[in-house]
Structure 1
């Protein structure tokens, strides 16, 4: 009856009138043409990309969790599949919630970045060209960070066949319908090539800094793109490029190290940066939380690590290594209960408002140090790793100061300094090292070798079911 009424009522309208009537936009929604017609709406789209990457399955915390618990430094207590047990046990499948949700959060972020890049390219004059370029720079940075996050877990490491293995579907167009969903996987090398291109573009167009410490910590600026490039090039084993990028923000050859252009990044109090001062110059990029915008329960990384005590530090892992001495101030990141050490970096009780770090200046120093030792430049490498360690344990002396011994000290320092921040799995995989076995009397996880199928995450079932070109 309704279909008949609509057909009759349209008889008195022209074809143009009929088209307008049948394709109206609901009053509570904006058409795609209107989304880019005011500066405020454009800025809201930019903020939306940051909101997307802060999804609980991505940089809201769980992506960090998956990467760290895969390594040997945490013991699982609960066997709870909703809090990363399958990642800890390396027993995930294409249908696992962790696999599907991370993939979805990643590609949602990528598509929102693509929509902004495409829309600003077509909407001239609404904002200044310089502001549009800066927004596009932010979108490209976030797209690069997301692609890096996905390719390091869902694809074979670059070191395996120099990136010639299948990587990810490289989606660079704004998708608003399922019409272009079928897309084959680009190679690992092609994905990294796009990541570097995005970061180079971002570096060229992002602002040097913002007006507040909060914005310098939570929005991408020029040094943010540079810092991420040191991470990406380290993953690729391109030591000269790591050094080239690091020197832009670490120009000194002796401590104290400090960026001298853009935001003046430098090391800060190693305890306070996680307790009550989240916007220091050490924090290059972080995920902010407020009382009106935070994650709770099993979505919060602090709940999993600390409040609900589902993982404790492995006494035979980095927690028990002599390089992390009892006098090291970074021991204050831990909560000891019944002889077990739990990670308290991200807080303890709801609401969980501690910022989640994505890039810190200490990581850049360690990236730089590793690249130098790989190149045989041991003196500065040693000085860099000592700068990181001595701010929390000034009396410690590294036993090895050259060659493989120094490299292994840097790797240990990464496990201490970046504990819980999502680095361990990739540090193993980028070096084609096995994932060690671990466990307790109740729960165990076996060793995973580089040739094993579960060395990387399987592709998401949701993508397999809908992408016929995969």
Structure 2
């Protein structure tokens, strides 16, 4: 990307969305794709539109929501086991990765590049006509939301969870809000990173004023993402409030039982608030997320037997698996089929209405609104299995039931590891095909190492313990 500064914003979409896949330099050395003088880089509303779309394009990378950022926390969890030929994310799955790992470096580099792109939009100074001010606010709001999400994703992947220390004073990741190629920042604390994430999401919500569709971030989608952040922070009151606003907005509706499985092939469903969209000409090809699971791809990873044991008979979500007669013994007989398209990459969901109901259910259960928690939980449970008996659990049993439902409903969407960490649970893999079948909480290996290449160029950067 040495020549990125010579790429004009307006030419970005003419060559398809700019790929990040070949980046090798670390983010502190990168120049953003439109790093010419900001006063000339973004002059018109069309420039803003191109820059924001270019920011979304970075999120398609196989190093981000296009594959590894979703895959890695799942293969590190108890939802997934390795097939015999697995050799891509195997070191993460076996809790044996190191500072020279290419996947860790790819995620670090790519996500910071997305932040650099968002910062260029946020910090642009331009004289935009009043007639398009609302459009400009919407686009800047999207950039704030992307920057918030990107920092949130980095701090989850490369730092221990919120609540790991009493004051969250443990090391997080560098907060980057301006582009400075000479900067060599140190790591902010996890408390500081989450504060920035919340601030950016709130700023985004104040600016977002349009519904741009599920491939971009709306005000309601930003509220849903912030509700997730609050849940991770243990701010259950705020999580419940925002989740309620999202649910009562009427902007999205849950899929029906009959339509649930088919919707995973088509994308853009009624309950998808924000997803990373792909098309026949704009996808990761053999590097697609789904190809890590399906037999037509690499088929490296399989559903864990103890996950399958949690899914009731006749549950509609059994339709998200596919029998493979070539599997047997410890590998079971089924494959993940949640991303089933063998040629065109399936869209990657980032936030769905189903999750928002489960966010509110957990927030309510943890603040003694058990009736409300049960109502939300059963909406998701009984959508999947209409004949299920209503939930009667209470106390910790109710919280456990909600976490179990999250495990099933959000399986293979990159959520399970984060739930284990934030609830301080041991990782226990039954019917284990990995070299590491148990990791007791807490453990240094629950997070990724800071890439060695980053340490080499920044004397202020520190490594995570254990690497």
Separation of aligned partners in 2, 1:348 and 1:273: 12
Aligned to 1:156: 160
Spell out the pairing of 1:237-386 with structure 2 (5 A cutoff). Answer: 237-251=234-248, 259-260=249-250, 263-268=251-256, 269-276=259-266, 278-297=267-286, 299-306=287-294, 307=296, 308-315=298-305, 317-321=306-310, 324-338=311-325, 339-352=332-345, 354-386=346-378
Q: Alignment length, in residue pairs?
A: 420
Q: For the Cα contact (< 8 Å) 1:318–1:412, is it kept in 2?
A: no
Separation of aligned partners in 2, 1:434 and 1:153: 18
CA deviations 1:43-95 (Å, max 9, x no partner) are 1111000001121111112211111111112110145442x112211111111
Aligned to 1:198: 200
Equivalent position to 1:54, from 57, 60, 73: 60
Equivalent position to 2:126, from 109, 123, 127: 123
Separation of aligned partners in 2, 1:111 and 1:236: 26
* CA shift in 2, pair 1:438/1:108, >3 Å: farther
- Structure 1's unaligned 5+ residue stretches are 1-23, 210-214, 252-258
Larger gyration radius, structure 1 or structure 2: 1
CA deviations 1:287-337 (Å, max 9, x no partner) are 11111101121x21111111322111121x22112xx11201110011111
- Aligned-pair CA distance for 1:98: 1.3
Q: For the Cα contact (< 8 Å) 1:389–1:413, is it kept in 2?
A: yes
| 1:66 counterpart = 2:56 | no
Equivalent position to 2:179, from 158, 171, 174: 174
Aligned to 1:453: 444
Q: Normalised by the size of structure 1, how large is the TM-score?
A: 0.85
- Aligned-pair CA distance for 1:141: 0.5
| 1:92 counterpart = 2:108 | no
- Aligned-pair CA distance for 1:378: 0.7
Spell out the pairing of 1:429-444 with structure 2 (5 A cutoff). Answer: 429-438=421-430, 440=432, 443-444=434-435
Aligned to 2:19: none
Separation of aligned partners in 2, 1:39 and 1:413: 44
Between stretches 42-51 and 241-250, larger displacement belongs to 241-250
Separation of aligned partners in 2, 1:411 and 1:100: 31
Q: Secondary structure at the match of 2:384?
A: coil
- Aligned-pair CA distance for 1:217: 0.7
